[in-house]
Structure 1
Amino acid sequence: MQLDHVTIRTGDIDATRAFFETVFDLTIGERPSAIRRIPGFWLYAEGRPIVHIIGSYGNGSDRAAEAIDHVGFRLEGYAAFRARLDRLAIPYSTMDLAEIGERRLFLRAPGGPLLEAVFCEPIPVENDHDIQ
């Protein structure tokens, strides 16, 4: 297992993008079409998208806090990991991103932090869709 990416939720996606580009020499790269409905950017280092930036919504007291939204871990063995979550009765949602050849599982740790398990595996044709 290795850290795949971190997603940062922010009220100023342009300033946050510029900060990471300037400070860490990251560059804007492609995002899968299935997630382009979410305002934000994927920032790349050495050809990999390691910082994902997404917008917070609302204003005043309703505004979502600036935060690390979730952490992604790159794993192997999608079917076995999914079976393990089922066996442990841990709820999850799925996302298959055919255009980049990745399958993803989203789950919450105790206390609520969102975790994403990312797998580079072929996607069966019948499962080529967004989060269920």
Structure 2
Amino acid sequence: MIANVSAIHHFTVGCTPADLPALLEFYTRVVGLQQGYRPDLRNPGYWLYAGGHAIVHLNALLRETPVRDGGALDHVALQAHGLLSTRQALRDANVTFDEAPLKGTHLHQVFVEDPLGLRIELNFDLEAEGLLGCA
């Protein structure tokens, strides 16, 4: 074993400077992350936080907006809380989303797409939310 990996630390969304405003709005308004400290790096961008940890880095390192084909990365999954309020907030904001209960588990998945087409999976633990059999 080379490394003892225990969790995803963060993921970086590469974009152009012009893509930054829409991405910042999506990840703060739709996903609910908070903009926070970012070191003085070579390219413009933002670090977006959940629970005091920067989990999404927006990095304007590209000259052209990437093609919306997703490449080899299918989606990124984030642990989330507040399924019922998330559904309502997405509806109120006219954000398209899909849902899928994960059979054989307590997880309920909600999928949204960021402005560049990256699928974001929000995972809700129905047992922790008191929604087993109700979702």
Query: Shorter chain as normaliser: what TM range?
Result: 0.3 to 0.5
Q: What TM-score, normalized to structure 1?
A: 0.45
The structure whose residues are more often strand, as a share, is 1
Higher relative contact order (CA 8 A, sep 6+): 1
Q: What TM-score, normalized to structure 2?
A: 0.44
